[in-house]
Structure 1
Amino acid sequence: MISDSSLYSLAVFLGAAAMLLIVFYHFLEINSDEHASKNSPGNPGNIKDSVPGEKIARQVVQ
């Protein structure tokens, strides 16, 4: 049988390894060629906003 301390150490190690892999995956995804070509200075990409522009313009005028 595996002891409690060994199981705890294994869980901590696997959790830390999973988090590092997630961060590494996102780093690779952001720096990929496909992502870089979409977000050039002339083309900001698909930016979604939860507030429509007309509503903001009305609030600024008031």
Structure 2
Amino acid sequence: MISDDQLYSLALFLGSAAMLLIVLYHFLEVNATDDEDSKLNAELKSEKSGIGAVKPQTTGAQ
């Protein structure tokens, strides 16, 4: 059977590992770039990105 000290050490280790993984996940998620958004932006910059495609109007409002 597992002793109280071993259980405490295991819980402390697993809790710390979980927190580190959560921080790592959030760091990677915040700094990630979406492939679909960059493809869409590249298509919008092209004047001939498809049949019947209309280039969006840019407004000079500041």
- C-alpha deviations, 1:23-56, integer Å up to 9, x for none? 000000001012xx6xxxxxxxxxxxxxxxxxxx
Partner of 2:24: 24
- The one-letter code sitting in structure 2 at the alignment partner of 1:18 is A
Q: Could you say which structure has the larger radius of gyration?
A: 2
CA RMSD of aligned residues (A): 1.1
More helix by share: 1
TM-score, scaled to structure 1: 0.54
Residues 1:5 and 2:5 are matched in the alignment: yes
Quote the Cα distance in structure 1 between the aligned partners of 2:31 and 2:22: 14
Query: What is the count of residue pairs matched by the alignment?
Result: 35
TM-score, scaled to structure 2: 0.54
Contiguous gaps of at least 5 residues in structure 2? 38-62
Question: Which of 1 and 2 has higher RCO (CA within 8 Å, sep 6+)?
Answer: 2
Displacement over 6 Å in runs of 4+: none
Contiguous gaps of at least 5 residues in structure 1? 38-62
Identity within the alignment, % = 71
1:1-62 matches, cutoff 5 A: 1-34=1-34
